[in-house]
Amino acid sequence: MRRRRRGRHRKDRTLPLGTVFIMGAAAAGVYLTMNPIGASAATTDVYVASSGSDSNHGTLAAPYRTLAKAFAAAGPGTTIYVRGGTYYPTATLKSTVSGTAAQRITLTSYGSQKVRVDGSHLPSGSWLVGLYANYWTVRGIEFQHSPAQGFVCTSCSGDIFQDLTTNDNGDTGFTLRGDHTTDNLVEGLDSYGNHDPSGDGGNADGIAVESGSGSGNVITGTRLSDNSDDIYGAAAAGVSRSRTSNSASLTSYPRGGLNRATAPRS
């Protein structure tokens, strides 16, 4: 990988991130904070709609308007249902509240509705989402146009990320990082068009696993293309012990170049 510039959320290449299992990778072609006190007792469903109001009660009939408000109401056992539309946070969406193995926190689109979280209103250098929590399920949402990383999961354990899209962000689309990053599943990720202009295109991967320690992480069925650095960025020494299955060639390209890989989804 290339030399990183200072002053942004860059990849620290010094710490090992254990063994990562990459399966079925690539076909064609990662602060508003949850309130730990208020969220700890929450077990109900929460709804968000672009036509809602944060003064509502977060029900299906009276949904919240912002993801930040929904995050603040969530705790173990909560499912956040996001109605179709595009949402524009004005600060990084950040969570430090964990679910449990028996009571996961779920963030998902409502039914088959299309949900986009757009970072075009964020301050320069901001991530779109920063997750520092365990036992989350995030499903069926597109994260786009962040000034920096799209979705970053730091020191996470037992999280599930299914059928997400991270595209056209200002750095890596999806990132797993940090110590004790263990037993996470990334399944069916589409990550494309991520490009870091301030780094001359030398930093933005489709997905990166980096800077930390852990084991048991599984990446399967991803489709990664047209990212300006690597299709898959493996910063951790332990990644060299990874097992791949039905995987495309994961190739580095010159700084500022584009890349594409094809492989069947498992």
Q: Which of 21-25, 33-37, 119-123 has the highest mean pLDDT?
A: 119-123
Query: Looking at the predicted structure, is the pLDDT value of residue 142 above 80?
Result: yes
| 72-98 burial code (b ≥16 CB/10 A, e <16) | bbbbbbbbbbbbeeebebeebbbbebb
**Per-residue pLDDT at 210:** 77
Query: Looking at the predicted structure, is the pLDDT value of residue 78 above 80?
Result: yes
Query: Looking at the predicted structure, is the pLDDT value of residue 11 above 50?
Result: no
In one letter, which amino acid is 225?
Answer: S
Q: What is the pLDDT of residues 190-199, one digit of tens each?
A: 988 888 766 6
Query: Looking at the predicted structure, is the pLDDT value of residue 230 above 70?
Result: no
Identify the weakest region by mean pLDDT among 22-26, 29-33, 223-227.
29-33
Query: Looking at the predicted structure, is the pLDDT value of residue 181 above 50?
Result: yes
d(CA 66, CA 82): 9
Most distant CA pair in the chain, distance? 51
What residues form DSSP beta bridges with 47? 81
230/85: higher pLDDT = 85
Query: Looking at the predicted structure, is the pLDDT value of residue 5 above 90?
Result: no
Identify the weakest region by mean pLDDT among 7-16, 55-64, 80-89, 155-164.
7-16
Average pLDDT over the chain, rounded to an integer: 76
Rounded to an integer, the average pLDDT of 84-104 is 97
Asked if 184 and 209 count as a contact pair (C-beta separation under 8 A), the reply is no
What residues form DSSP beta bridges with 189? none
Rounded to an integer, the average pLDDT of 204-213 is 77
Q: What is the pLDDT of residues 98-141, one digit of tens each?
A: 999 999 999 999 999 999 999 999 999 999 999 999 999 999 99
Quickly state the pLDDT bin for 202 (edges 50, 70, 90): low
State the SS3 of 42-80: CCCCEEECCCCCCCCCCCCCCCECCHHHHHHHCCCCCEE
**Residue whose C-alpha is closest to residue 168's, from 117, 211, 219, 132:** 117
Strand-pair category, 105-109 with 136-139: parallel
**Per-residue pLDDT at 130:** 95
11/180: higher pLDDT = 180
Quickly state the pLDDT bin for 214 (edges 50, 70, 90): confident
